[in-house]
Amino acid sequence: MARDARGGPSFDLTDEIMASFTVGKEFHPPQSGRKPSTMTSMDFHAKNSLMVTVCDDELDYGGLRPAEARKAQSVAIRVYNLAEGKHERTCFNSKHGVSCARFTHHPRSIVYASSKEWSNESWHREVDNNTIWHHSLTDNAMVRMFKKGHTDSVLDIEVSKVDDLFFSCSKDKTVKLWDLRLQEAQRTLRINSLGLDNCREPRMVLDPDPYDGTKVDRMVWVGGEGGHIVCFDTRTLKAFENSVIMPHQHYRAGLPCDESPIKCLKVGNDGNLLAFSLQSYRGAVIYVYDTDPLHYKKDLTRPKYTFYAGEGGGEFDFSPDDKYLLSAGPRGSVFVWNLENGKKVAELPSARRNISCLKWLPTHQLFATGGQTDEGVAGASLWVPTFLPNLQEDLRNGH
């Protein structure tokens, strides 16, 4: 198999293959006695064919008193084995809540941020709201609580796949660098500079790791309202020169989303593309930028492409070869965009009514979406292509 720019598997994806993707497997949790739920996190392990999802699976405790019912509300962490196409286990968390769940480089552990706020719980005095946790999926136990963290909601967590470092981004306008082996943050970046001083809901993305495990110069992109994005060196947390994206084209396009927070922010697999989505009166708008990761000498005020995803919510991801961008469309559909010519290749239908998570498994011709059914139950869908040129050629040749 050929390799891509990072040393990972490279697929010969075409418009025909992309247009043939369909749902090959659905994962639904038990529905008995459950209220409507939402999937809030989805992640793949870098090397093992494992997927983790997080849903706010609240049971219907109609007979309990309000205080008891509040404690009984659970968040479900589900692990799926994609190689075997089956659900492996579910871990429930009713104390802290779970958001931004991400695999570490170990296939049986994740990090996540608390999603619940507590004020008068005596047992919770030692734990701050918005605490980040290192969690073992093997025995559903906490490995470590990271102390002296954020003072407001954590919005993003990005984990290195080759070492023990990870980053977190919060409404408190800070980005923190952590080590899985240590309880306290190793470095803090305050983003109230370089035009991000009025940022209310910052987003963050880490440059992708190489598959061969080599350590290279790394960059973390931090963005605020209107798509104002700055690139920082992960070692020093200092901004790179000429690395500021300030997309003033919103007004020219007639899209008044200069105050809209970024919904989704991602970097392409070879580091040469960056995209983010904003909400406008026309629905979700996705801006794709052609970046130079070495010198940043290109015009970063003008996007390469602007895609209109309608009422899809703004979730998207790149294909492994960075030739295509997939975005959540209306009514649970998936839009496929060709990044070589900017054209929409297909609109892939699904049985879900919305998509809250979308992610491609870089080592396979497979991507996953998470969303609600018409009954309001959150689950995951695995998408696979039905048009495989090599297989069809073998069939024509009688193999």
CA distance 300 to 289: 7
Average pLDDT over residues 183-206: 84
- The listed range with the strongest mean pLDDT (39-53, 254-268, 364-378) is 39-53
Q: How many CB atoms within 10 Å of residue 394?
A: 11
- Residue 147, classified by CB atoms within 10 Å of its CB into exposed (0-12), middle (13-18) or buried (19+), is middle
Q: Give me the residue spans of the domains in the chain.
A: 15-396
The SS3 call for residue 279 is: strand
Superfamily (CATH) of domain 15-396? YVTN repeat-like/Quinoprotein amine dehydrogenase (2.130.10.10)
101 touches 52 (CB < 8 A)? yes
Query: Is the pLDDT confidence value at 195 over 80?
Result: no
Cα radius of gyration (the chain): 21
**pLDDT at position 64, please?**
40
Average pLDDT over residues 167-189: 92
The SS3 call for residue 111 is: strand
Question: Which residue would you say has higher pLDDT here, 191 or 36?
Answer: 191
pLDDT tens-digit series, residues 3-35:
454 445 556 899 999 999 999 999 987 654 556
What band does 272 get if pLDDT is binned at 50, 70 and 90?
Answer: confident
> What's the predicted TM-score (pTM) here?
0.86
**pLDDT at position 57, please?**
65
CA 1 to chain centre: 27
pLDDT tens-digit series, residues 125-164:
445 568 999 999 998 888 999 988 899 999 999 998 778 8
Query: Is the pLDDT confidence value at 70 over 50?
Result: no
**DSSP per residue, 208-268:** PPPTT------EEEEE-GGG-EEEEETTT--BPTT--B--THHHHTT---TTPPPSEEEE-
pLDDT tens-digit series, residues 231-260:
888 877 787 766 677 665 554 444 555 678
**Residue 276: C-alpha distances to residues 205, 222, 264, 336 (Å):** 10, 11, 5, 16
Query: Is the pLDDT confidence value at 204 over 50?
Result: yes
Residue 381: both structure tokens together: 């869908």
